[in-house]
Amino acid sequence: MIVIATFESHLFVELAISALQEKGIAEHQIFAVPLNRSAEPPRLLDTLHHANGFSFLDLAAILGTCLMLLGAIYGYVLAWGPIIWGIIGAVSGIGIGILLKWWVNRKSTHRQSRTGADIVLLIRCDEQQWPAVEQLLRGHHALGLAGVHDKQPNR
């Protein structure tokens, strides 16, 4: 059986490998691969063929609508009238929304770039060892864990 686990930190992987070796799994049955993070910064706007799940204009549309409505309502008592104040509210709401999303996106990309790369750990073990290996890896903060039946016997 081949066990595949992903980790976020090098420290947890090293502790897990040490614990696996104490459980009787040989060193040549353990393989760790660090994954490189993408060096390309995320795009601000989605295209038809590429969407990263980060909507840049949703907050701008919501704030623009709310401030436009408030500008139109209170424009009846202000000097320039409801149409001008509605336009001012829409433009300022869209601007505030875009700035807030840009700021949040910038903060999250800086946070992601500081964290280390993910690590994939491959372990070849017997079917009888699977429950112990699974419990051990979950105890060492594995992000994801899967077991695949292997057709070859262990060597």
Model confidence pLDDT, tens digit, residues 82-131: 999 999 999 999 999 999 988 887 776 555 555 555 889 899 988 888 88
Tokens at residue 6, please? 């992903």
Q: What is the pLDDT of residue 11?
A: 82
User: Average of pLDDT values for 50-67?
Assistant: 81
- CATH, range 2-36+117-148: 3.30.70.120
Please, which pLDDT band fits residue 9 given cuts at 50, 70 and 90? confident
C-alpha span between 76 and 59 (Å, rounded): 26
Residue 70: closest CA among 51, 52, 96: 96
Domain edges within the chain? 2-36+117-148, 58-114
C-alpha span between 65 and 49 (Å, rounded): 28
Q: What is the pLDDT of residue 109?
A: 59
C-alpha span between 124 and 4 (Å, rounded): 9
